[in-house]
Chain A
Amino acid sequence: DTGVSQDPRHKITKRGQNVTFRCDPISEHNRLYWYRQTLGQGPEFLTYFQNEAQLEKSRLLSDRFSAERPKGSFSTLEIQRTEQGDSAMYLCASSLGLGRESGYTFGSGTRLTVV
């Protein structure tokens, strides 16, 4: 499978716990994006990487959220001290980063439920 992989698919956690999600992009894609999607809404941009550099962060990405892409390949998104409002689908996408003609390939997402 050469698509974007996300792990886990589902995560249930208690409020206050930390969670970490992983995204494996398409291997030749140098850009990686994280989005969050709540019920009935479109995906909301969180952050993106070009190789290992994190180039933009949305103001949705509070200080409890941290994303890394240490070797320019896979990425992790960590949420510390989870809150019920963090319950959402977290989507990862990758692209070749060749500008506006380069589309994104999305993974299937990680659905987080904070109880």
Chain B
Amino acid sequence: QSVLTQPPSVSAAPGQTVTISCSGSSSNIGNNYVSWYQQLPGTAPKLLIYDNDKRPSGIPDRFSASKSGTSATLAIIGLQTGDEADYFCGTCDDSLSAAHWVFGGGTKLTVL
């Protein structure tokens, strides 16, 4: 059971928009920055979003994210087949040991 809650799967057609939610509590999302990671099949995770809503260089602006209270949301617009991947949210949890990261269980995105 993951500390952060994500839907197991989402799906949408190419060109459409999809959102992935990440729910936590006041000790993690509510009090810390959230980052999002994309894991393409058979590869390592890749940073997609950091500090709630910032994109690293090279990440298309089709990817965006926001945080409100104890929840965060990743949005992908103009879906492409290459976006099919697992997406994870992550942050630190102040109720655990210092610098203790927690992740969501991951959401599998299927582009129909």
Do A and B make up one complex? no
